[in-house]
Every structure is written in structure tokens, then in C-alpha cells.
Structure 1
Amino acid sequence: MDHAGHTGHAGHTQQMDHTEHAGHAGGGHAGHGADHVGQFRRLFWIMLVLAVPVVAASPMFAMVLGYALPAIPGLGWVSPVLGTVMYVWGGRPFLTGAVSELRARTPGMMLLIGLAISVAFVASWGASLGLLDHQLDFWWELALLIVIMLLGHWIEMRSLAQTTSALDSLAALLPDEAERVEGGDVVTVPPAELRAGDVVVVRPGGRVPADGRITEGSASMDESMITGESRTVRREPGDPVVAGTVATDSGLRVEVTAVGEDTTLAGIQRLVAEAQNSSSRAQRLADTAAGWLFWFALGAAALTAVVWSIVGLPDSAVVRTMTVLVIACPHALGLAIPLVVSIATERAARGGVLVKDRLALETMRTVDTVLFDKTGTLTKGEPVVADVEPAEGYSADDVLSLAASAERDSEHPLARAIVQAAARHSLTTAPAQDFRSSPAVGVRAVVAGRVVEVGGPNLLQERSALALPVTDPWREEGATVLHVLVDGKVAGALRLADEIREESREAVAALHRRGVQVVMITGDAEAVAASVASELGIERYFAGVRPEDKSASVQELQREGRKVAMVGDGVNDAPALAQADVGIAIGAGTDVAIASAGVILASDDPRSVLSVIELSRAGYRKMQQNLWWAAGYNLIAVPLAAGVLAPVGFVMPMSVGALLMSASTVVVALNAQLLRRLDLRPEVSARRG
């Protein structure tokens, strides 16, 4: 009986895991895990506590807010001493990042922040020691700058914190122990101790510990996690079996042919690792803006110094130049992206979408092709009774009731599907006696005094019975066909197929309405693929694709100039998920699929893909608005701080510039909050589509 089964995937949505941390380009902290989130969190709170006395005791801040500092001995040294601690300790991540950007010759956010805090630090000491104009006392500005930038970093890292690795998850597919035959004994050993030539016992329902060849027994193997083939595959003595696959119905003895690096699973691991390492990391928006801003600030500062010196005001030249460099530092720019990302990821999580890789979310808005894995994604990955054809003298209900009665004691996925179909039709099943199951043939039981048998082509052959004519087209479309025999004569036939999710139709239609091409990929035969594709209205599909070729199908689409999002749930999808521009794992899938993806859907509703597109587009709009606002503020404030309006009698005071800077940060923060209004329920996204 060539039963189609699909082992239940435990939903591992809580296992957020780790691709690369796309930090500030060249910022010297790629690959941060949860420990760095903790470090930045602690650093932020410590600096916040230190910033309070630094700001409160700063004469310039007191002047801005209009309060008098009390005449306490030594009060004047509070800001310089604590400010120095803040610069050295709190500013360290930015200074090391700035050095990395300089070495890489890619000026960006880190260099801009490093420059601003260094200028503020030097100028403030100059003012505190009486060497420079008192207006250059920037201790409060330095303190706020470090605190706001640390907050931005902490938010950013928290939204990107990822814990487990795709490759660890792949290894988890192997059983913890293997049963090796040694002489007449069976000894339990770790799979790592197996060597080629060893013979291992695989119990019914157990996983194969290493690639090998069957020496004794035959079983229906569930290879869906490795191959994506939804139906179990019959494996006989002499046939190869792959590590990580499951013997669903009977035990086997397997001679090990490959271990460790030589196994199919290890090959898939290598593909995942290669695709993850080679996937291009798009240059981040804020870094690009910061790079431009760096040159703009440097140019403006140089021009300011030259012009004020030429007009014979060297003191003003120093004050104005320093002011330009400090004001140019992007408080708002430092928060513009992390805040949007943080709110977007939190908003997504509430909508059942877990974002692991921020770049995946950013890229999703540009995707023009969505490649869906069939089994377990567009379909439920488990068989259902799709048709019942009775022979003469029986009704469809009779056939289904008899089959369910006979199969009631069987644990097989197809047996469960038949029993569930009878229950759905409210049919009564009679108790069965003398139940027997014969692998590759079918089941036999005595029901109400009659011998009822349910099975595939081998059963018909044994009984010299003819298949019902209606079953030929069923077979051609790739369905599983079972005949029901009563006392050796055919009573009817059942067609079982992998059930298509109702939501899949809506998802495909909504994506088409948005102008996104939908492509299906499956390990199943051409006939099965064609039948599912036509039912869902999908025009293009890849059928009979081996696991190692799935990523090649993604590359083929990419070579056509398409931006591809891949949606899948099995181990076999992992390399393709890593290869795609955006990998989306259905959360009910395996740890490995989840680990290779940038986005995880907590539900197995394919309409959630639309939610990801919505969120990506809305988030990108917010990022752009925030960047324009943050950069726009600088484009206006820097010339004013440089004294461009001095000829008409207006020179922007340092304090006003600083207040404007704080105001721009508030505007950016409030604008990001508007993302919370986005409704990410799958059905809403599908309707919007």
C-alpha cells in the first residue's frame, strides 16, 4: 500500500534563530547575538544614569533652560569628569566602529557619530579649561548624543537578536542514538560512532541514523522532510535510505554506506551554509545617508572655518566650525531606521510574522515572484479522501463505511484519512475482528461476517481482481488509489490526495492582483504538480525537483532578473530558502527551514505572505520619511549653524540648534509609531490585495 504520509512538524516558531547580524556596515560588530543585546542594554542604562548629572551640571544647558547652577565647590568638574567617562566607555562602540569605517574607506553612521562625540569632547575640555570660548561647552550635548545613539543601537540589536543556527537544526533531524548490530546483540551507540559497513536496526516510526542500504525488511519511508515528496515511498531490501527519514510502518535493518560529511543531510547543510554566506547584504539606507551626511558636514565645517577666518573672526570660526560638526551628528538619523525596524518587527510578531533578518523585510517590498513549496505550504501535507467510486450493488457511503471499519485499528496516515472521511459523513463503522496489515499490500479485517480488504495495486494482483476504470485518470493525476474488496470482489475505489489549503486560493489570487508572479515547486511527480497548479490558478511550476536542485530553481528565476521570495517548510527547502532574495518559512515546518529563512510565519496560512509585503512596503515608506526628515533637518540646520545668514544679522545660537535636533528626534519617533496602526491579519491583507 503506497501510503502518502507526512510526519507532523512540531511548530517551532518560538525558535528565533541566527543568520548574520547586519549591523552598521563596517561598524565592527557583525554577528552579534543575545549577549550583545544585553551589553548594549546595560551600557545604555549606565550612561543614562551618568548623563543626568552631566546635563544638569552643564552651564550651557542651565543657560538654555534658564536656571542658575548652585555655588557648590567642585560642581564645575562634574560634567568634565563624568563626560570623559561617558566618552571613553559609552562612546567606545562608536569610536571602534568609526576606525573600522575609516579602514574600510566607507564613511557612514559610525564615523559621523565618532566625529561628533570626539569634536564635542575636545571642544568641551577646551571650554572647561578656559582655552576655548565658553559657548563650546558641549558636555550636555555629548551626553545626550551618546545616550540616544546607544538607545538606537540597543533597539536595533534587540529587534535582530537571534539565537539558534540553521546548521544545528539540521543536525537535530538525526536521532540521538542508533541501534547497531554487534554479533547477535543490538547495542545502542551515538550516530557519530557509526562507520560504513555497520548494520543498524530502525524500529517502526524511527529515524534512519545514517545513509545506508536496506538489508532486511521493507517499509514505507516518509522522506518528505528531505525530498518534499508528500507520499511515502516503498523501500525494499537493496534500496538506499537517507539519514533523517522515517520508517512509518515496519522495522528495517540497514547497512551504513555513508556517515558524517558524506551523507545527504551534510550535503544539504553545506548548500545552506554556502547560500547564507553568499547572499548579498544590501547596503543599508541609513548608512548611505550617513555617508553623504559625513561629507556634507565635513565640507560645511571646512567652508565655515575658511569663511569666518577670512572675515577676520578666528574665535567665531572655531565656535561655528565646532557647532557645525556637533549639529551635523544625526540624532534622528541614528533612531530613524532602528525605531521603524523595532516597531515593524514587534507589529509583525503580533500579526504572526517573525522577522529574523531585517534586510529580508526591507527586500520584501521589491519581490516580484513568490515561489511556494507545494507540500505542507500550499497543501496540508496530509492525505484526504477526495473521491469514492462504488462498484455495482454498493453506494459510496457503503464503500467508505466498510473501508473505515477495516482501517479503524491502523495507525497509517491513509487509514486515518479514511476514518476521518467516514466521520465527516456521519457514517457508522462496525467493529472489526482479525485485523491484519501487510506492508505494500494493504489491510484485511472481518467486518459483520465479511472479509473486507483495502489496498493498492498489489492487493488487486493477489486477488486477481480488476481495477475500476474510473481509477485510471486518478492515477494519471498522481493521486493515491485504494480499492475496497469484500469477500475477494471489488466493492469500490477511493481516491486520496494531498488536500489543498482553502487559504492558498486566496493567497495566489491576491498576489496575482498585485502583479506578483506565483510559481510552485515540488518533489512530487509532474501529474500531481499539474493538478494542484491548475486548481490554484498557478501558471508556472517546477515538478519532480530533488532537494539539492531546489536552490538551482531559485537561481534560474533570479537569472531571469526576478526578485524571488521562497516559501517552504521542509529540510529540503532550506538551501532554496537561503538562496532566495527573501526566505519565508512556514512556522509549522522544521527548525531547519525556520533557521534558513529571514521571515517566519507563525501560522501555516500562505496569505500571511501578503502581510509581509504590506509590512515591508509600509516600513520602507516610514524609513524614507524619517530619513528625509532627519537628513532634511541637517541640511537646513548645518548652514544656519555655519552662519550662512550672518550677513543679514542672524546667527543661530548653539542652544537653538540643539533644541531643534531634539525636536527632530521626537518627530522621527512619533512617525515610526504610526506603523502600529497597520492591520496584519492574513484575511485583511488578502482582501487588500
Structure 2
Amino acid sequence: MTQTPVRTHEDPATHVEAAPSVLTTQQIAEALPGALRKLDPRTLVATPVMLVVEIGAAATTVMSVLDPSVMGWLVSVWLWLTVVFGALAESVAEGRGKAQAASLRALQTETTARRLRAGAGGTEELVASTDLRAGDVVVVEAGGRIPGDGDVIEGVASVDESAVTGESAPVIRESGGDRSAVTGGTLVLSDRIVVRITSDPGHSFVDRMISLVEGSQRQRTPNEIALNVLLTSLTVIFVVVCGSLYYLADYSGAHQSWLVLTALLVCLIPTTIGALLSAIGIAGMDRLVRRNVLAMSGRAVEAAGDVDVLLLDKTGTITYGNRQAYEIVPVTGVTLTGAENAAVLASLSDQTPEGRSILTLVGRSMGGPADATMVEFSAMTRMSGLDSPGLSVRKGAASAVTAWVEEHGGQVPPETAEIVDEIARGGGTPLVVAEHRDSDRARVLGVVHLKDVVKDGIRERFDELRAMGIKTVMITGDNAATAAAIAQEAGVDDVLAEATPEDKLALIRREQRGGRMVAMCGDGTNDAPALAQADVGVAMNTGTPAAKEAGNMVDLDSDPTKLIDVVEIGKQLLITRGALTTFSVANDVAKYFAILPAMFVGVFPALGVLNIMRLSSPESAIVSAVVFNALIIIALIPLSLRGVRYRPSSASALLRRNLLLYGVGGLIVPFVGIKLLDLVVSLIPGL
């Protein structure tokens, strides 16, 4: 009989969480003060494109004061709105992290800590948490808050970390191993622990989280810097062109005012992507925060989008981590019910996940004899079971149970070894079940097949990664045969079996020498070298301080599967930036057809053929183009925050899709938008 084990874990096949698709009035109201503060030229220096727009807005305002006109004031107002909308995009993106930052600040309320005096025989003194320094040792008992980041050096306790991770389930923290790290501000629910503080005030993990979610430490990524340089270069070119155009137009007899040339300049430079570039980067990090992943830099998010190789631990990432009973195979002459009943009796005292999974598999509870003595599982005996008058049952490793059967006068049938070998070859773990009755010799009843269960949906996720051109490598300490069986079932591309920390590091370096970008996750001190070497290293929040310092991302949920989502978010960031850049450049084409004919048609009537939108007048054409240039920024803010929808496919397919959607769309939308605005603007008296 084959039954599917009960699975209580969540399906890892989740996708990138989308931000709201509409910019609400509340969002605008909350972000507007910050946007107005960003109009300071000293702030706009970081965005040269928008600085030029602001200078242009100031210049046209002065011109309108000196020589008032309806067109002048309309152009001035909408140029100022263009600058405000650009600042608003960044302000809205930054504002989305304020709520989470506020909840994190609640963790930083000053508490009283019980600090152990050095060399004073373990006596305690009460101090403010803000007075603690790295190296201090404190005692925290049930109901108390951990006063600062640290490592548990004594005891074990249940800790509520929901304020940090968002998960309501408490976690166990204990001295030694990879689960000793604790975060300041979290609540101890039970027992007593002694903690050595590892950070000074103002430098805690929560402080770093607040800085990251608020964007105060965000650094521009290499690609973002390169694109900013390109946009700046284009802006300089158009400044020179428009400045030269003044004298060219004057020479040809089609004299143009500096007001018109300023409007032309703002419409030709890449204001759309210039205004949204910073917001796209901030929103990419914010999407990670919403998935409970903190990126230490924008560079890490960007690198995630370029990942070629993904290293994943088998246990807890590809599989559920606990081997579960998959089936019970009776030997010849024994009924399935008889083998199941013996397996249940032998598992009553087995509190391991494997033992409990046998009860779940059989699906019925049985009570042992009232006078039975339970034999708990131990690493020494490698068996569990029970002894009662007239009956003893055992379940455990094949060699241990074989020795027990032979000790009680029985013989193990040859088919037992065949069943055990078949299960082992398939990557499973065999547990032999036997019984001994006083009236007979001990005998084997069957074999329990324990299987390291592959997570639901994980194969489909790997298929998606393969479609992206990403190679997946499973890392495990299992032997080659077991690793190969799990790898085949999960659908990974390659496997590294019997892996040591040195093996992981060597594999990463080998892939990087081949020009590949590598991502991996880890939680232990022994993972730190590989996390530091990887281009994207995701450390688990439950991991050691060494692991969290080595990685460039921290997963607050400590879910290794999240690495797949990190890659998707990184790719979405790159695609969004590329798509909006394409749209912005394509937009300019329509503006050429709107403004250039309007400027010269009076002197060169033949240019009227370029007025394909049939705009009402030169003045209406210029104002409509300026208004559209501003409105398209506000219209694209939700898309820059949400990100362009990412579908796993090849790079060529993604490029083709973006060119068709955002390239062609960027050509068509302005023609329609400017024409509709012209119909409205032309109705304004005095224009």
C-alpha cells in the first residue's frame, strides 16, 4: 500500500507580491511634503535630468513675469509640475517603507536589562538597555525583552520574533550551534537564557533594518549609475542642440523665444525615465522587504536579476527536511495490516518526526498494552518499540533490528535485504519492523519506507528557472545515490553530493571563473565563506552572526526557498528599468512631431506635412507636449512601484516583448495623448 504523507508545510511556489496598481490620494498626500523638500537644487544634483527641468521651470517663470502671456504661464506651471511629479515618484517609493520602519522602532523602546557583573560571582545589576555595550552579558527570563542583539551562551528559550519577521509562531533559541542568535526587542516567552550582547547602541540589526526600509542608506547600483550617466549625456547634448537652435532659427528668419526653446528642451530630454529611475530602484528593495528579505545594498538586488547559477540546500529547501513514512512493505507471509499494527506499536514511544509520520501514514491510533514498557528511540540502539508480557516489537535501522531478531532466535529472510536495498537505491531510508512472541522466535514483519519528500510545486519552480536560463544545483551531505534520486524527482540541473564547506566554496569559484553570477543561501558559520564569495548570498535570520555578516541579504523568515523569489524580484527590477527607459525614449519621437513643425511651419510651410496630429496651433502644440510630458510621469509611478510583470522566458523573448509593448506603445501613446490634450488646450482663451 502506498499513501501520500500528510504535508503541513506551505507550498513554496509563491510569486512576487505586487504593489497596488493605483496611486491613491492618501499616498500622494503623505508623499507630497517629502516631494516638495526634494525640490532643493542641492538634492536634485543627484538627478541631473530633473535639475535641468527645474532650472527650465525657474527660467520660464522669470520670462513670464517679465513678459506675461497665457502660454508662458501654462508652460511654467507644467514645468514645475513635471519637477514635482518626478520628486513625488521617489517620495512615494520611500514612503512605502515608513510603516514598517515605525513598527521596527517600537522594538527600540528603552528597557531595563539585568547585566551580570564581570568577576562578581554572577551577581546582577539593573541598567538601561541603551547603556549596554558589545561584550556585556545579560539575563533574560520569560516575559522579558531581549535588550540588544546577541548570542545565547546559556540556556534555551522560546522567543517571539513576530515584530521582526511577521511570523506569529515562536522560535527556539539555545546556546551553541546555529540557532543561538537573538535580536534586540524580541520577547522571551518561556524559560531563561543568558545572552552576550554583540552590538553597541545604534548599530543593532533593527537599526540597520530601519535604515534600509527607509532608504536612507540606499546606494545607486552600477547599472543605475551607468544609466544616469547616459541620461545626463543626452541632456547635455540636447542643451547644446536647443541653445544652437536659437541662432539657427534666428538666421533662417523663424526666430524662437527662449520660452519655446526651454519647452522643447524639457520635452526632448529623457525626463520620464529620469524622474522614475530612483523610484524604480527603491521599489525593487521595497518588494524584497515585503517578502521579508533585507538587501544590504541595491547592488545585491540588481545582481540577483543577473544570476545564472542557483545553489540550493536539499534539506528544508528542495525537501521538507524531515523524512516521512511513505509506505510499509510487508514480507512474504505477513499481511499489510499485521505489519502496520506492529509499526504503530513500535512508534508509540518514538517522538522523532519520522516516528510520528508512521502514525500519520497508517491513519489509525492504537494503544499499547497497559502493562507495556516503552522503548524510546536512541542514537545508541537506533531502535524504538515496546515490551509487554508475551510480546515485544522493534522498529529501527536494518542492522540494529537484524541483530535483535537473531539475538531472540530468529532469522531474517533474504527478501528483507532486497527490500532494504531497493529503498536505499531510490534515495529512501528503510526501517525494519520485527516482533518477538514468547511462544515463537523473533521474526521480521516488514520494512517502513521513509522518504525525504520533495516540496509541492518545487519542480515547476525549477522549470521556470530553467526557462530563465538559470542553472540549479542541489547541495547535500547525502551519498551520491540518494542525492541523485532526490535531484531527479525535484528536477534540478546538477547535484553536489557529500558536500563540505570547502566543496561549496570551490563550486562557486569555478562557476564564477566561467563568467557566471552565483546565488546561494546559508545559515551556519561554515556557510560564511561561500556566502561571502557568492554574488548573491542570502543568510537566514535564524543563522549565526557570521553568516548574516557574510551575506548581502537576510531572510527574516529563514525560508531557504525564498532565494527563488529573490531572483525573480531582481529580474523584475532590471526588466522594469529597461521597459520604462524604452518607453521614455520612444515618447520623444511624438514630441518631435508636435513641437518642431510648430516652431518652423510659419517660415517653412512644407513642414506642415509633419503635423500628422493636425494640432490646432503652434502654441497649443507646445503646451500640449509639455502637459503630456508631465502627466505621463504621474501615470507611470504605479508601474514603477509595482514593477513590470515578469514571466519566466529567455532573454531574447523578454527583449522582443518589451520592444513591442513599451517601444511601440511608447510611440503610439504620446500621439494619442498629445492630440487629446490639444483639443482641450486649444479651448483656453488667449492661447
Q: TM-score, normalised by structure 1?
A: 0.58
- Structure 2: distance between partners of 1:482 and 1:521: 25
* RMSD of aligned Cα (Å): 6.6
Compute the displacement of 1:435 (Å): 1.8
1:95 lines up with 2:41 in the alignment: yes
1:153 aligned to which of 90, 95, 106: 90
Compute the displacement of 1:615 (Å): 5.5
Among the aligned pairs, what percent are the same residue? 21
Task: Tell me the residue number matched to 1:445.
Answer: 386
Give the conservation status (yes or no) of the 8 Å contact 1:520–1:533.
yes
Amino acid at match of 1:596: M
Compute the displacement of 1:523 (Å): 4.1
Deviations 1:640-668 (A, max 9, x none): 68x46564167984653342233355567
- Structure 2: distance between partners of 1:134 and 1:285: 40
Task: Tell me the residue number matched to 1:626.
Answer: 583
Deviations 1:666-689 (A, max 9, x none): 56776887999999899xxxxx9x
1:497 lines up with 2:451 in the alignment: yes
Secondary structure of the residue aligned to 2:392 is strand
2:626 aligned to which of 661, 667, 680: 661
Indicate the larger mover: 566-575 or 629-638: 566-575
Amino acid at match of 1:146: V
In structure 2, do the counterparts of structure 1 residues 444 and 134 end up closer, same or farther at CA, with 3 Å as the change threshold? closer
Amino acid at match of 1:408: L
Task: Tell me the residue number matched to 1:45.
Answer: 32
Compute the displacement of 1:193 (Å): 11
Amino acid at match of 2:375: R
In structure 2, do the counterparts of structure 1 residues 373 and 306 end up closer, same or farther at CA, with 3 Å as the change threshold? farther
Task: Tell me the residue number matched to 1:244.
Answer: 180
1:536-575 to 2 correspondences below 5 Å: 536-546=490-500, 550=504, 553-564=507-518, 566=520
In structure 2, do the counterparts of structure 1 residues 152 and 539 end up closer, same or farther at CA, with 3 Å as the change threshold? closer
1:159-308 to 2 correspondences below 5 Å: 244=180, 281-283=222-224, 287=228, 290-308=231-249
Deviations 1:443-468 (A, max 9, x none): 23246952222233556557765884
Secondary structure of the residue aligned to 2:621 is helix
1:284-363 to 2 correspondences below 5 Å: 287=228, 290-308=231-249, 316=256, 318-328=258-268, 330-334=270-274
1:112 aligned to which of 41, 49, 52: 49
Consecutive unaligned residues in structure 2, runs of 5 or more:
1-7, 18-24, 106-112, 137-149, 156-175, 183-193, 205-216, 437-441, 609-616, 649-653, 655-687
In structure 2, do the counterparts of structure 1 residues 460 and 602 end up closer, same or farther at CA, with 3 Å as the change threshold? closer
Task: Tell me the residue number matched to 1:596.
Answer: 553
1:431 lines up with 2:368 in the alignment: yes
Task: Tell me the residue number matched to 1:648.
Answer: 604
1:350-499 to 2 correspondences below 5 Å: 367-391=307-331, 393-423=333-363, 427=364, 429-431=366-368, 433-440=372-379, 441=381, 442-446=383-387, 449-456=390-397, 457=399, 468-470=416-418, 471-472=420-421, 474=423, 479-487=428-436, 489-499=443-453
In structure 2, do the counterparts of structure 1 residues 449 and 346 end up closer, same or farther at CA, with 3 Å as the change threshold? farther
In structure 2, do the counterparts of structure 1 residues 121 and 335 end up closer, same or farther at CA, with 3 Å as the change threshold? closer
Compute the displacement of 1:473 (Å): 5.8
- Structure 2: distance between partners of 1:508 and 1:621: 25
In structure 2, do the counterparts of structure 1 residues 185 and 447 end up closer, same or farther at CA, with 3 Å as the change threshold? farther
Indicate the larger mover: 531-540 or 324-333: 324-333
Amino acid at match of 1:373: D
The alignment of Structure 1 onto Structure 2 pairs a total of residues equal to: 545
Indicate the larger mover: 139-148 or 335-344: 335-344
Deviations 1:568-597 (A, max 9, x none): 799987886786556789999999999826
Give the conservation status (yes or no) of the 8 Å contact 1:523–1:547.
no
Secondary structure of the residue aligned to 1:381 is coil
Deviations 1:119-159 (A, max 9, x none): 321441354255x9886545413431233112211343356
Deviations 1:269-300 (A, max 9, x none): xxxxxxx9999643368635522431232222
Give the conservation status (yes or no) of the 8 Å contact 2:536–2:552.
no
Give the conservation status (yes or no) of the 8 Å contact 1:503–1:607.
no
Secondary structure of the residue aligned to 2:180 is coil
Secondary structure of the residue aligned to 2:223 is coil
Q: TM-score, normalised by structure 2?
A: 0.58
- Structure 1: distance between partners of 2:527 and 2:312: 10
- Structure 2: distance between partners of 1:245 and 1:401: 43
Secondary structure of the residue aligned to 1:283 is helix
In structure 2, do the counterparts of structure 1 residues 405 and 559 end up closer, same or farther at CA, with 3 Å as the change threshold? same
Secondary structure of the residue aligned to 1:404 is helix
